[in-house]
Amino acid sequence: MYTVVMLGGTLPIPLYVLWAPQMGFGPFTTTLVFAVYAVGTVLALMVFASLSDRVGRRPLLAAAVLAAATSTALFLLAHDVGTLLAARFLCGLGTGVFTATGTAALGELAGAERTRLASTVSTAANMGGLGLGTIVAGLFAQYGANPTHLVFLAYLASLVPALVAVIVTPETVTSRQRPAMSVRRPAFPDRRAARTEFLRAATAVLAAFAVSGLFSSLVPSFLREQLHVHNVAAVGAEVGLLFIVALIAQVAAPERWTSGRRPTSAFLVAGVAVFEAGLWARSLPTFAAGTLLAGTGIGLAFRRGVAVTQRLADPRRRADLFSTYFLFAYTGTIVPTLALGLLDQTINQDVATLILAVAVIATTLASALSRPATTMA
Protein backbone atom coordinates (compact mmCIF):
# COMPACT_ATOMS: atom_id res chain seq x y z
CA MET A 1 0.00 0.00 0.00
CA TYR A 2 2.98 2.29 0.59
CA THR A 3 4.04 1.77 -3.03
CA VAL A 4 0.53 2.40 -4.35
CA VAL A 5 0.09 5.67 -2.43
CA MET A 6 3.51 6.96 -3.54
CA LEU A 7 2.75 5.98 -7.14
CA GLY A 8 -0.18 8.39 -7.08
CA GLY A 9 2.13 11.24 -6.15
CA THR A 10 3.89 11.18 -9.53
CA LEU A 11 1.06 10.15 -11.88
CA PRO A 12 0.38 13.77 -12.94
CA ILE A 13 4.01 14.59 -13.86
CA PRO A 14 4.05 13.46 -17.54
CA LEU A 15 0.57 14.97 -18.00
CA TYR A 16 1.59 18.60 -17.35
CA VAL A 17 2.64 18.94 -21.00
CA LEU A 18 -0.90 17.92 -22.01
CA TRP A 19 -2.75 20.02 -19.42
CA ALA A 20 -0.71 23.18 -20.11
CA PRO A 21 -2.15 23.93 -23.59
CA GLN A 22 -5.64 22.77 -22.53
CA MET A 23 -5.74 25.03 -19.46
CA GLY A 24 -3.46 27.77 -20.75
CA PHE A 25 -0.60 27.78 -18.23
CA GLY A 26 3.18 28.01 -18.50
CA PRO A 27 6.31 26.88 -16.62
CA PHE A 28 5.69 28.91 -13.47
CA THR A 29 2.19 27.45 -13.01
CA THR A 30 3.70 24.00 -13.53
CA THR A 31 6.13 24.60 -10.67
CA LEU A 32 3.30 26.09 -8.59
CA VAL A 33 1.15 22.98 -9.09
CA PHE A 34 4.04 20.81 -7.96
CA ALA A 35 4.86 23.14 -5.05
CA VAL A 36 1.23 22.96 -3.83
CA TYR A 37 1.65 19.17 -3.69
CA ALA A 38 4.81 19.62 -1.59
CA VAL A 39 3.07 22.21 0.63
CA GLY A 40 0.29 19.70 1.30
CA THR A 41 2.93 17.13 2.20
CA VAL A 42 4.72 19.53 4.57
CA LEU A 43 1.41 20.55 6.21
CA ALA A 44 0.57 16.88 6.76
CA LEU A 45 3.98 16.28 8.31
CA MET A 46 3.64 19.28 10.63
CA VAL A 47 0.04 18.72 11.72
CA PHE A 48 -1.18 15.18 11.08
CA ALA A 49 1.63 12.66 10.63
CA SER A 50 2.79 12.45 14.27
CA LEU A 51 -0.82 11.82 15.36
CA SER A 52 -0.26 8.14 14.63
CA ASP A 53 2.08 7.97 17.65
CA ARG A 54 -1.00 8.80 19.78
CA VAL A 55 -4.02 7.24 18.05
CA GLY A 56 -2.40 4.38 16.13
CA ARG A 57 -1.01 3.76 12.66
CA ARG A 58 -4.08 2.30 10.95
CA PRO A 59 -6.44 5.31 11.30
CA LEU A 60 -3.86 7.63 9.74
CA LEU A 61 -2.98 5.15 6.99
CA ALA A 62 -6.67 4.77 6.10
CA ALA A 63 -7.10 8.56 6.05
CA ALA A 64 -4.12 8.86 3.69
CA VAL A 65 -5.61 6.32 1.26
CA LEU A 66 -8.96 8.15 1.31
CA ALA A 67 -7.18 11.47 0.63
CA ALA A 68 -5.47 9.84 -2.35
CA ALA A 69 -8.85 8.63 -3.64
CA THR A 70 -10.42 12.09 -3.30
CA SER A 71 -7.45 13.65 -5.06
CA THR A 72 -7.77 11.15 -7.91
CA ALA A 73 -11.44 11.99 -8.33
CA LEU A 74 -10.54 15.69 -8.63
CA PHE A 75 -7.96 14.91 -11.31
CA LEU A 76 -10.71 13.18 -13.27
CA LEU A 77 -12.87 16.32 -12.99
CA ALA A 78 -10.08 18.85 -13.60
CA HIS A 79 -10.74 21.34 -16.40
CA ASP A 80 -9.00 24.36 -14.86
CA VAL A 81 -5.92 25.20 -12.83
CA GLY A 82 -7.90 25.67 -9.59
CA THR A 83 -9.14 22.07 -9.59
CA LEU A 84 -5.66 20.87 -10.50
CA LEU A 85 -4.21 22.77 -7.53
CA ALA A 86 -6.83 21.31 -5.17
CA ALA A 87 -6.14 17.79 -6.44
CA ARG A 88 -2.38 18.16 -5.98
CA PHE A 89 -2.80 19.64 -2.49
CA LEU A 90 -4.93 16.69 -1.36
CA CYS A 91 -2.47 14.30 -2.98
CA GLY A 92 0.32 15.95 -0.96
CA LEU A 93 -1.65 15.63 2.27
CA GLY A 94 -2.13 11.90 1.74
CA THR A 95 1.50 11.38 0.76
CA GLY A 96 2.79 13.32 3.78
CA VAL A 97 0.71 11.34 6.25
CA PHE A 98 1.63 8.04 4.65
CA THR A 99 5.38 8.59 4.37
CA ALA A 100 5.92 9.24 8.07
CA THR A 101 3.25 6.83 9.35
CA GLY A 102 4.00 4.04 6.87
CA THR A 103 7.74 4.18 7.46
CA ALA A 104 7.22 4.05 11.23
CA ALA A 105 4.74 1.16 10.91
CA LEU A 106 7.10 -0.86 8.72
CA GLY A 107 9.88 -0.43 11.28
CA GLU A 108 7.61 -1.67 14.05
CA LEU A 109 6.25 -4.60 12.03
CA ALA A 110 9.81 -5.70 11.21
CA GLY A 111 10.97 -5.52 14.83
CA ALA A 112 14.16 -4.19 16.40
CA GLU A 113 16.25 -7.06 15.05
CA ARG A 114 15.36 -6.26 11.41
CA THR A 115 15.73 -2.48 11.23
CA ARG A 116 17.87 -2.69 8.08
CA LEU A 117 15.17 -4.72 6.35
CA ALA A 118 12.57 -2.13 7.38
CA SER A 119 14.72 0.72 6.04
CA THR A 120 15.26 -1.10 2.74
CA VAL A 121 11.57 -1.94 2.28
CA SER A 122 10.33 1.56 3.16
CA THR A 123 12.80 3.34 0.90
CA ALA A 124 12.12 0.84 -1.90
CA ALA A 125 8.37 1.39 -1.59
CA ASN A 126 8.84 5.16 -1.56
CA MET A 127 11.20 5.49 -4.52
CA GLY A 128 9.72 2.53 -6.40
CA GLY A 129 6.25 4.02 -6.22
CA LEU A 130 7.47 7.44 -7.35
CA GLY A 131 9.28 5.91 -10.33
CA LEU A 132 6.40 3.68 -11.37
CA GLY A 133 3.95 6.60 -11.27
CA THR A 134 5.59 8.56 -14.08
CA ILE A 135 6.21 5.46 -16.19
CA VAL A 136 2.62 4.20 -15.87
CA ALA A 137 1.13 7.66 -16.54
CA GLY A 138 3.34 8.12 -19.61
CA LEU A 139 2.29 4.78 -21.07
CA PHE A 140 -1.41 5.45 -20.45
CA ALA A 141 -1.13 8.97 -21.91
CA GLN A 142 0.73 7.85 -25.05
CA TYR A 143 -1.14 4.67 -25.84
CA GLY A 144 -4.44 4.90 -23.93
CA ALA A 145 -7.79 6.08 -25.25
CA ASN A 146 -8.03 9.13 -22.98
CA PRO A 147 -4.58 10.53 -22.07
CA THR A 148 -5.56 12.47 -18.93
CA HIS A 149 -8.37 10.29 -17.55
CA LEU A 150 -7.81 6.57 -18.09
CA VAL A 151 -4.77 6.36 -15.83
CA PHE A 152 -6.68 7.96 -12.93
CA LEU A 153 -9.60 5.54 -13.33
CA ALA A 154 -7.16 2.63 -13.12
CA TYR A 155 -5.43 4.18 -10.10
CA LEU A 156 -8.73 4.76 -8.30
CA ALA A 157 -9.48 1.05 -8.69
CA SER A 158 -6.06 0.15 -7.25
CA LEU A 159 -6.78 2.10 -4.07
CA VAL A 160 -9.56 -0.34 -3.12
CA PRO A 161 -7.21 -3.26 -2.30
CA ALA A 162 -4.84 -0.73 -0.68
CA LEU A 163 -7.61 0.27 1.75
CA VAL A 164 -8.38 -3.39 2.43
CA ALA A 165 -4.68 -3.92 3.19
CA VAL A 166 -4.80 -1.10 5.75
CA ILE A 167 -7.79 -2.71 7.45
CA VAL A 168 -6.14 -6.13 7.82
CA THR A 169 -2.68 -4.86 8.83
CA PRO A 170 -1.96 -5.33 12.57
CA GLU A 171 -1.90 -2.18 14.68
CA THR A 172 1.60 -1.55 16.05
CA VAL A 173 0.82 1.22 18.57
CA THR A 174 -0.24 -0.48 21.79
CA SER A 175 -0.52 2.54 24.09
CA ARG A 176 -3.24 4.81 22.72
CA GLN A 177 -3.83 8.42 23.77
CA ARG A 178 -6.43 11.02 22.99
CA PRO A 179 -5.66 12.89 19.75
CA ALA A 180 -4.23 16.38 20.16
CA MET A 181 -4.23 18.55 17.06
CA SER A 182 -1.55 21.22 16.85
CA VAL A 183 1.14 22.55 14.55
CA ARG A 184 4.13 20.61 15.76
CA ARG A 185 7.65 21.86 16.07
CA PRO A 186 10.20 19.69 14.29
CA ALA A 187 11.48 16.96 16.62
CA PHE A 188 15.20 16.24 16.95
CA PRO A 189 17.23 13.69 18.93
CA ASP A 190 18.13 14.87 22.43
CA ARG A 191 21.86 14.12 22.42
CA ARG A 192 24.05 16.64 20.61
CA ALA A 193 26.02 14.05 18.61
CA ALA A 194 22.83 12.29 17.53
CA ARG A 195 21.20 15.60 16.62
CA THR A 196 24.20 16.57 14.48
CA GLU A 197 24.20 13.19 12.73
CA PHE A 198 20.49 13.50 12.02
CA LEU A 199 20.85 17.05 10.67
CA ARG A 200 23.64 16.01 8.31
CA ALA A 201 21.50 13.18 6.91
CA ALA A 202 18.45 15.47 6.66
CA THR A 203 20.44 18.19 4.85
CA ALA A 204 21.71 15.64 2.34
CA VAL A 205 18.19 14.46 1.58
CA LEU A 206 17.03 18.09 1.27
CA ALA A 207 19.56 18.60 -1.53
CA ALA A 208 18.62 15.26 -3.12
CA PHE A 209 14.91 16.11 -3.14
CA ALA A 210 15.66 19.48 -4.77
CA VAL A 211 16.85 17.43 -7.76
CA SER A 212 13.79 15.18 -7.68
CA GLY A 213 11.62 18.32 -7.47
CA LEU A 214 13.19 19.63 -10.66
CA PHE A 215 12.49 16.31 -12.40
CA SER A 216 8.94 16.25 -11.06
CA SER A 217 8.03 19.73 -12.28
CA LEU A 218 9.98 21.21 -15.18
CA VAL A 219 11.96 18.33 -16.68
CA PRO A 220 8.98 17.09 -18.79
CA SER A 221 8.78 20.49 -20.48
CA PHE A 222 12.61 20.64 -20.79
CA LEU A 223 12.56 17.27 -22.56
CA ARG A 224 9.79 18.38 -24.89
CA GLU A 225 11.01 21.90 -25.71
CA GLN A 226 14.81 21.70 -25.46
CA LEU A 227 15.61 18.05 -26.17
CA HIS A 228 12.68 17.53 -28.60
CA VAL A 229 11.25 14.41 -26.92
CA HIS A 230 7.55 14.44 -27.86
CA ASN A 231 6.58 10.88 -26.93
CA VAL A 232 4.80 11.15 -23.55
CA ALA A 233 5.75 7.59 -22.63
CA ALA A 234 9.43 8.45 -23.22
CA VAL A 235 9.08 11.59 -21.06
CA GLY A 236 7.52 9.54 -18.26
CA ALA A 237 10.26 6.92 -18.59
CA GLU A 238 13.05 9.52 -18.39
CA VAL A 239 11.60 11.08 -15.23
CA GLY A 240 10.83 7.64 -13.81
CA LEU A 241 14.40 6.58 -14.54
CA LEU A 242 15.63 8.94 -11.81
CA PHE A 243 13.47 7.22 -9.18
CA ILE A 244 14.02 3.67 -10.45
CA VAL A 245 17.79 4.15 -10.37
CA ALA A 246 17.40 5.58 -6.86
CA LEU A 247 15.51 2.40 -5.91
CA ILE A 248 18.20 0.13 -7.39
CA ALA A 249 20.92 2.08 -5.59
CA GLN A 250 19.14 1.60 -2.26
CA VAL A 251 18.73 -2.15 -2.72
CA ALA A 252 21.95 -3.09 -4.53
CA ALA A 253 24.59 -0.59 -3.37
CA PRO A 254 27.36 -2.04 -1.18
CA GLU A 255 27.27 -1.26 2.53
CA ARG A 256 30.26 1.10 2.33
CA TRP A 257 28.26 3.32 -0.05
CA THR A 258 25.12 3.48 2.06
CA SER A 259 26.87 3.95 5.41
CA GLY A 260 29.12 6.83 4.36
CA ARG A 261 28.30 10.41 3.40
CA ARG A 262 30.89 10.91 0.67
CA PRO A 263 29.77 8.29 -1.88
CA THR A 264 26.29 9.82 -1.73
CA SER A 265 27.64 13.31 -2.30
CA ALA A 266 29.96 12.21 -5.11
CA PHE A 267 27.14 10.62 -7.12
CA LEU A 268 24.72 13.51 -6.55
CA VAL A 269 27.25 16.23 -7.44
CA ALA A 270 28.43 14.35 -10.52
CA GLY A 271 24.85 13.67 -11.64
CA VAL A 272 23.75 17.30 -11.31
CA ALA A 273 26.85 18.49 -13.21
CA VAL A 274 26.36 15.98 -16.04
CA PHE A 275 22.62 16.44 -16.60
CA GLU A 276 23.08 20.21 -16.45
CA ALA A 277 25.75 19.85 -19.16
CA GLY A 278 23.24 17.78 -21.15
CA LEU A 279 20.66 20.60 -20.96
CA TRP A 280 23.19 23.21 -22.09
CA ALA A 281 24.51 21.01 -24.91
CA ARG A 282 20.98 19.86 -25.91
CA SER A 283 22.25 16.28 -25.64
CA LEU A 284 19.73 13.63 -24.56
CA PRO A 285 22.42 10.91 -23.96
CA THR A 286 24.37 13.28 -21.67
CA PHE A 287 21.19 14.23 -19.83
CA ALA A 288 20.31 10.53 -19.42
CA ALA A 289 23.80 9.78 -18.06
CA GLY A 290 23.40 12.58 -15.52
CA THR A 291 19.99 11.17 -14.58
CA LEU A 292 21.60 7.80 -13.79
CA LEU A 293 24.27 9.38 -11.57
CA ALA A 294 21.84 11.75 -9.81
CA GLY A 295 19.34 8.94 -9.23
CA THR A 296 22.07 6.89 -7.55
CA GLY A 297 22.93 9.84 -5.30
CA ILE A 298 19.28 10.40 -4.39
CA GLY A 299 18.78 6.73 -3.55
CA LEU A 300 21.89 6.58 -1.35
CA ALA A 301 20.97 9.82 0.45
CA PHE A 302 17.42 8.67 1.10
CA ARG A 303 18.36 5.17 2.25
CA ARG A 304 21.06 6.47 4.59
CA GLY A 305 18.72 9.12 5.99
CA VAL A 306 15.95 6.61 6.72
CA ALA A 307 18.44 4.24 8.38
CA VAL A 308 19.86 7.06 10.54
CA THR A 309 16.36 8.19 11.53
CA GLN A 310 15.26 4.62 12.38
CA ARG A 311 18.33 4.19 14.57
CA LEU A 312 18.11 7.53 16.40
CA ALA A 313 14.33 7.68 16.89
CA ASP A 314 12.77 7.26 20.32
CA PRO A 315 10.43 4.22 19.88
CA ARG A 316 7.62 6.19 21.55
CA ARG A 317 7.98 9.06 19.04
CA ARG A 318 9.15 7.28 15.92
CA ALA A 319 6.67 8.95 13.55
CA ASP A 320 7.55 12.31 15.09
CA LEU A 321 11.20 12.12 14.05
CA PHE A 322 10.29 10.69 10.65
CA SER A 323 7.96 13.66 10.17
CA THR A 324 10.94 15.97 10.69
CA TYR A 325 13.06 13.94 8.28
CA PHE A 326 10.45 14.09 5.52
CA LEU A 327 9.86 17.77 6.35
CA PHE A 328 13.47 18.42 5.32
CA ALA A 329 12.97 16.31 2.19
CA TYR A 330 9.87 18.09 0.94
CA THR A 331 11.16 21.53 1.89
CA GLY A 332 13.96 20.68 -0.52
CA THR A 333 11.39 20.34 -3.28
CA ILE A 334 9.32 23.48 -2.55
CA VAL A 335 11.79 26.36 -2.33
CA PRO A 336 14.18 25.45 -5.21
CA THR A 337 11.35 24.43 -7.53
CA LEU A 338 9.38 27.64 -6.99
CA ALA A 339 12.57 29.68 -7.30
CA LEU A 340 13.33 27.93 -10.57
CA GLY A 341 9.82 28.67 -11.85
CA LEU A 342 10.22 32.36 -10.98
CA LEU A 343 13.69 32.59 -12.49
CA ASP A 344 12.42 30.93 -15.65
CA GLN A 345 10.06 33.90 -16.13
CA THR A 346 12.82 36.51 -15.90
CA ILE A 347 16.07 35.01 -17.19
CA ASN A 348 17.28 32.35 -19.59
CA GLN A 349 16.07 28.85 -18.71
CA ASP A 350 19.59 27.45 -18.91
CA VAL A 351 20.87 30.05 -16.45
CA ALA A 352 17.96 29.33 -14.08
CA THR A 353 18.75 25.62 -13.96
CA LEU A 354 22.45 26.40 -13.55
CA ILE A 355 21.68 28.48 -10.44
CA LEU A 356 19.70 25.58 -8.98
CA ALA A 357 22.51 23.14 -9.83
CA VAL A 358 25.11 25.31 -8.05
CA ALA A 359 22.88 25.60 -4.97
CA VAL A 360 22.34 21.81 -4.82
CA ILE A 361 26.05 21.09 -5.23
CA ALA A 362 26.98 23.61 -2.51
CA THR A 363 24.44 22.17 -0.05
CA THR A 364 25.54 18.61 -0.78
CA LEU A 365 29.22 19.41 -0.27
CA ALA A 366 28.48 21.32 2.95
CA SER A 367 26.67 18.27 4.34
CA ALA A 368 29.42 15.87 3.26
CA LEU A 369 32.38 17.89 4.50
CA SER A 370 30.98 19.08 7.85
CA ARG A 371 32.80 17.71 10.87
CA PRO A 372 31.03 15.22 13.16
CA ALA A 373 30.08 16.44 16.62
CA THR A 374 31.70 14.98 19.68
CA THR A 375 29.77 12.27 21.51
CA MET A 376 30.11 13.90 24.95
CA ALA A 377 26.89 15.92 24.93
Enumerate the H helices of the chain as residue ranges.
2-10, 16-23, 27-47, 52-55, 57-77, 81-110, 115-143, 150-168, 192-217, 219-225, 232-252, 255-259, 261-281, 284-312, 318-346, 349-369
* C-alpha span between 88 and 44 (Å, rounded): 13
CB 129 within 8 A of CB 9: yes
Task: Quote the pLDDT of residue 376.
Answer: 37
Dist. CA 162–CA 160, nearest whole Å: 5
How deeply is 161 buried, as exposed, middle or buried, from its count of CB atoms within 10 A (0-12, 13-18, 19+)? exposed
> What gap in Å lies between CA 208 and CA 176, rounded to an integer?
35
10-residue stretch averages of pLDDT, the chain, 377 residues long: 92 90 85 86 79 84 94 94 94 88 85 78 85 93 90 95 90 72 73 87 89 81 85 90 88 75 86 91 91 91 85 78 84 78 74 85 81 46
**pLDDT score at 181:** 60
Given CA atoms 89, 91, 97, 100 in this order, what sign does their dihedral have? negative
Cβ contact 244:333 at 8 Å: no
- Which domains are delineated in the chain? 2-170+187-369 (1.20.1250.20)
pTM of the model: 0.79
255 CB burial (10 A radius; 0-12, 13-18, 19+): exposed
Residue pair 309/322 in contact (Cβ under 8 Å)? The answer is yes
Say what the pLDDT of residue 49 is: 66
pLDDT value of residue 174: 75
